[in-house]
């Protein structure tokens, strides 16, 4: 496939400025002429850097099918309006109980503020309410030039090189992991929501996948061109020390920070793709809409499904947020991976045991049976009792989060436990007979939750709290 690179040699640069061979004369007149040295660095060099190559541990195996069973024949595109964070909670509880839960949220928040309870004090409350993100949009910003504006061809390369290029770009801009998935009408396209996010309890716009040339949107509908066949899935890390202070207000920090960073990174990625001549169809809010990010991340090979119904990655366990963008730039898709998570979750059950509202399924085997409209059919999983989860979060007085399951998971340890983590992950992947012993050892060592939330304010944390 032919390439077009926007790189200029010194001679070409001077010619483009209109001074060509007169460059020496211009310099003698005091004009500043860039001292370019050939060859000029370009996207090829960026894509060939170590940032562009996912460095997975040796025990992570690529497999043809994900370790969570999926029945694509019964799965249909899911309506985001049914999730708990949209209208799902009111639908599950009824308006009367829903209003009581929301009233309890504000009442308990004020009560704990007055009690000056550690983890819920005024400075803790101000901390979690101080996050501010950039606007997010389905259609990309239009603040840069396209190849058509510049009179040059669109960028072209192989899907493999395109994937390396996009991964390098996202890693530089703050993404922890980057994966790619191709949309197939009978399977993975069903991970795109049928309806996108709305505002409050309002139904979001319908997402229509159509055989059109360009995307468009109205208040009622977002049009996704059928030729946009590739999904870019990337993660943003969560701050380890704040997660350990679950279920206090602190846990909202790493969640909100992820969403705020995503709104910036998505805009940068959309502009990058636009500058190359391709579309970047993003999430219209700072949160998780457009499609099932867990499903996309699994199909792209970032990690495995877990009992907590979130993705567990080899690098960070549960300690990341996932985001996605759809594009027509051809990308080499990843493959699902197996490093023992589904087997381990059958035995461990720590997240279920410690979940205060018992929202996480404690059965040994996953099931096809869904519990409500908030679950997507066709996935053999440990389906959460979602209303219990969100009702507990709100009635506890927290702004948005609990994530105790993230904090206590034996696979979600930070840098301070790196030797321990490397050992148990390799053991889980290769010797499942030790799974039960690993759970017991994790309990004995006391990893996970901390009982001293106020110590956060005395810590000298690394940037973004990423250890």
Q: What is the pLDDT of residues 174-185, one digit of tens each?
A: 999 999 999 999
Instruction: Give the pLDDT score at 245.
Output: 83
Instruction: Please tell me which residue, 454 or 323, carries the higher pLDDT value.
Output: 323
Instruction: Give the pLDDT score at 3.
Output: 45
What are the pLDDT digits (tens) for 32-45? 444 444 444 555 66
Q: Strand, helix or coil at 402? A: coil
Instruction: Please tell me which residue, 252 or 276, carries the higher pLDDT value.
Output: 276
Instruction: Please tell me which residue, 212 or 245, carries the higher pLDDT value.
Output: 212
Confidence of residue 189 (pLDDT cuts 50, 70, 90): very high
| Average of per-residue pLDDT values in the chain | 87
pLDDT average, residue stretch 373-398: 90
What are the pLDDT digits (tens) for 64-79? 999 999 999 999 999 9
- Helix count (H) and strand count (E) of the chain? 17, 11
State how far the Cα of 236 lies from the Cα of 234, in Å rounded to an integer: 7
Statement: residue 275 has pLDDT above 60? yes
Contact criterion met (CB below 8 Å) for 290 and 283: yes
Instruction: Please tell me which residue, 274 or 4, carries the higher pLDDT value.
Output: 274
Share of the chain above pLDDT 70, in %: 85
Statement: residue 412 has pLDDT above 60? yes
Statement: residue 240 has pLDDT above 70? yes
Instruction: Give the pLDDT score at 266.
Output: 97
Pairing of strands 221-225, 206-210: parallel
φ/ψ region of 335 (left if φ > 0, alpha if ψ in -120 to 50, else beta) reads beta
What are the pLDDT digits (tens) for 340-350? 999 999 999 99
Instruction: Give the pLDDT score at 136.
Output: 92
Instruction: Give the pLDDT score at 53.
Output: 58
Statement: residue 409 has pLDDT above 90? yes
Statement: residue 30 has pLDDT above 80? no
State how far the Cα of 178 lies from the Cα of 172, in Å rounded to an integer: 11
Q: Rounded to two decimals, what is the model's pTM?
A: 0.87
Instruction: Give the pLDDT score at 36.
Output: 41
Pairing of strands 216-217, 221-225: antiparallel
Statement: residue 22 has pLDDT above 90? no
| Rounded CA Rg of the chain | 24
């Amino acid at each position: 496939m032919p390439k077009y690179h926007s790189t200029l040699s010194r001679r070409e640069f001077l010619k483009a400025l209109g001074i060509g061979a007169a460059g020496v004369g211009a310099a003698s007149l005091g004009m500043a002429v860039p001292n370019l040295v050939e060859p000029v660095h370009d996207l090829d060099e960026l894509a060939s850097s170590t940032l562009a190559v996912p460095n997975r541990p040796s025990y992570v195996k690529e497999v043809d099918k994900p370790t969570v069973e999926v029945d694509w024949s019964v799965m249909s595109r899911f309506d985001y309006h049914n999730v708990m964070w949209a209208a799902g909670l009111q639908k599950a509880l009824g308006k009367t109980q829903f209003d009581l839960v929301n009233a309890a949220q504000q009442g308990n928040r004020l009560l704990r503020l007055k009690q000056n309870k550690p983890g819920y004090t005024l400075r803790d409350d101000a901390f979690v309410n101080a996050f501010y993100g950039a606007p997010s949009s389905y259609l990309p910003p239009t603040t840069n030039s396209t190849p058509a504006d510049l009179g040059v061809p669109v960028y072209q390369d192989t899907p493999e090189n395109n994937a390396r290029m996009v991964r390098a770009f996202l890693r530089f801009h703050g993404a922890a992991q980057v994966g790619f998935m191709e949309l197939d009408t009978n399977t993975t396209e069903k991970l795109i929501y049928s309806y996108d996010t709305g505002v409050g309890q309002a139904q979001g716009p319908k997402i229509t996948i159509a055989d059109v040339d360009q995307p468009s949107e109205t208040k009622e509908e977002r049009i996704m061109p059928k030729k946009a066949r590739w999904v870019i899935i990337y993660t943003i890390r969560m701050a380890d020390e704040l997660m350990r202070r679950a279920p206090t207000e602190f846990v909202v920090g790493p969640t909100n920070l992820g969403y705020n960073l995503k709104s910036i990174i998505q805009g940068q990625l959309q502009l990058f793709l636009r500058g190359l001549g391709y579309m970047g169809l993003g999430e219209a809010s700072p949160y998780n809409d457009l499609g099932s990010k867990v499903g996309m991340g699994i199909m792209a090979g970032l990690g495995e499904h877990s009992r907590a119904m979130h993705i567990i990655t080899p690098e960070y366990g549960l300690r990341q947020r996932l985001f996605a963008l759809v594009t027509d730039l051809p990308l080499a898709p990843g493959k699902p991976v197996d490093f023992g998570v589904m087997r381990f979750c059958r035995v461990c059950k720590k997240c279920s045991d410690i979940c205060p509202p018992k929202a996480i399924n404690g059965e040994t085997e996953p099931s096809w049976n869904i519990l409500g409209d908030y679950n997507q059919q066709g996935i053999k999983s440990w389906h959460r009792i979602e209303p219990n989860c969100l009702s507990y979060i709100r009635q506890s007085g927290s702004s948005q989060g609990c994530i105790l399951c993230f904090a206590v998971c034996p696979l979600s340890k930070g840098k301070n436990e790196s030797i321990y983590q490397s050992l148990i992950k390799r053991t889980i992947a290769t010797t499942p007979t030790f799974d039960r012993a690993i759970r017991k050892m994790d309990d004995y060592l006391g990893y996970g939750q901390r009982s001293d939330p106020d110590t956060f304010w005395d810590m000298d944390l690394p940037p973004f709290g990423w250890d």
